[in-house]
Amino acid sequence: MIPWLGTGGGVRFPDVERALAEPNGLLAAGGDLAPATLLAAYRRGIFPWYGPGEPILWWSPDPRLVLFPERLHLGRSLRKRLRSGRYRVSLDRDFAGVVAGCAAPRPGQDGTWITPEMAQAYRRLHALGHAHSVEVWEDGVLVGGLYGVAIGRVFFGESMFSRRPDASKVALACLAARLHRCGFPVIDCQVASAHLLRLGAEPLPRRAFTALLERFCALPAPADTWEALP
């Protein structure tokens, strides 16, 4: 059995080592999506993930999929796309638009885990300066992007979307370059997918991941980390 979390007065998460092996990483249910709750969860290597009609479920899988920014794999076609100038990239210009793009139904999927409640929670985090987006534009139209949460020098990726070829990859490449320059050692990718593995993401034991969090979430990010891209 997993514990049920209360609300109000600060949600207390169990130790991540108590997470289930099957399903991998399920740690707790209940609680809330208040900014303080979400930030406390991320600092401990925990994230919410649940579907419509379900209670809030909290996860900390082992291993954890991460991307070390300097190890991002830029294939030949992606390098060509980045050089072409076809897309324009921005930071934090349209956070709500990126969340909506990530929440939109995708081919072969009936629904989305980004419920209205989840979208609202991350918009609140963005308004408080904790969540950030990377937007990709083509002819003034938003065609891709990603969003996530930054704490100290760790970026916790949440979701990405693409309406044009390689648009989400361009967003990730630009983000990785910025974070590497600013001394961020890792981008949290949460759980494995073939798409992210091809881009260079790799599994990391949960204890190694939480050790990174203990060290780097406490370090302040450079002041220019989230300045607008040229």
Closest C-alpha to 96, from 67, 78, 59, 121: 121
Give me the pLDDT at residue 107, please: 62
Tell me the pLDDT of the chain averaged across its residues.
93
**Residue 85: band (very low, low, confident or very high) from pLDDT cuts 50, 70, 90:** confident
Pairing of strands 154-162, 186-190: parallel
**Are the beta carbons of 64 and 203 closer than 8 angstroms?**
yes
Q: What is the residue type of 25?
A: G
State how far the Cα of 37 lies from the Cα of 179, in Å rounded to an integer.
Answer: 25
- Average pLDDT of the residues in 150-155: 98
Whether this model's pTM surpasses 0.85: yes
State how far the Cα of 154 lies from the Cα of 164, in Å rounded to an integer.
Answer: 28
Give me the pLDDT at residue 130, please: 98
Give me the pLDDT at residue 212, please: 98
**Residue 11: band (very low, low, confident or very high) from pLDDT cuts 50, 70, 90:** confident
Q: Which backbone phi and psi does 35 adopt, to 5 degrees?
A: -50, -45
**Residue 80: band (very low, low, confident or very high) from pLDDT cuts 50, 70, 90:** confident
Closest C-alpha to 86, from 158, 160, 165: 165
State how far the Cα of 87 lies from the Cα of 172, in Å rounded to an integer.
Answer: 13
Tokens 């997470």 map to which residue?
Answer: 19
pLDDT tens, 36-45?
Answer: 999 999 999 9
pLDDT tens, 108-128?
Answer: 555 578 999 999 999 999 999
pLDDT of 105 above 70? yes
Domain boundaries, the chain: 4-61, 65-216
DSSP per-residue string spanning 99-117:
HHHHHS--TT-S--S--HH
Pairing of strands 131-138, 141-151: antiparallel
How would CATH label the architecture of 4-61? 2-Layer Sandwich (3.30)
State how far the Cα of 114 lies from the Cα of 51, in Å rounded to an integer.
Answer: 8
DSSP alpha helix (H) spans, the chain: 35-43, 76-84, 95-103, 116-127, 167-181, 194-198, 206-216
How would CATH label the architecture of 65-216? 3-Layer(aba) Sandwich (3.40)
